[in-house]
């Protein structure tokens, strides 16, 4: 049965499938950006720790180093947030697709 309702549902499903593909591509790029940001932060922390090791007590070192690497920490947090947001969008699109698939199956039986 090829009713207008089925055609609308079909078009909506195709659009969502396309959007899922776009989100997957974006997720790949964001994953790479996240990895680069995490790596840059870890490297900055290691370098700063070595630089400050003899100048400050060990109990304060963690806080001092984090304060010195705040820019890298910001970049890391932004990259992680963007990555997680893209995953959430992808999951939402997948849920929408599942809902449309259910509607499609229901319309076919009607």
Note the pTM of the prediction, 2 decimals: 0.80
Instruction: Tell me the per-residue pLDDT of 39-63, one tens digit each, with 9 for 90 and over.
Output: 999 999 999 999 988 888 888 888 8
- What integer pLDDT is reported at residue 4 of this predicted model? 84
Cβ contacts of 80 within 8 Å, gap of 6 or more: 34, 37, 38
pLDDT in tens, 62-86: 889 999 999 999 999 999 999 999 9
- The domain ranges of the chain are 4-109
How many angstroms separate the CA atoms of 28 and 98, rounded? 23
């Amino acid at each position: 049965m090829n009713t207008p309702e089925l055609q609308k549902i079909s078009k909506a499903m195709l659009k969502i499938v396309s959007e899922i593909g776009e989100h997957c591509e974006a997720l790949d790029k964001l994953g790479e950006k996240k990895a680069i940001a995490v790596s840059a932060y870890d490297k900055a922390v290691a370098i700063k720790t070595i630089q400050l090791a003899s100048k400050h007590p060990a109990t304060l070192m963690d806080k001092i180093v984090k304060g010195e690497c705040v820019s890298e920490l910001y970049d890391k947090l932004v990259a992680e947030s963007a990555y997680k947001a893209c995953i959430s969008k992808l999951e939402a699109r997948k849920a929408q697709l599942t809902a449309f698939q259910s509607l499609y199956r229901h319309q076919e039986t009607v």
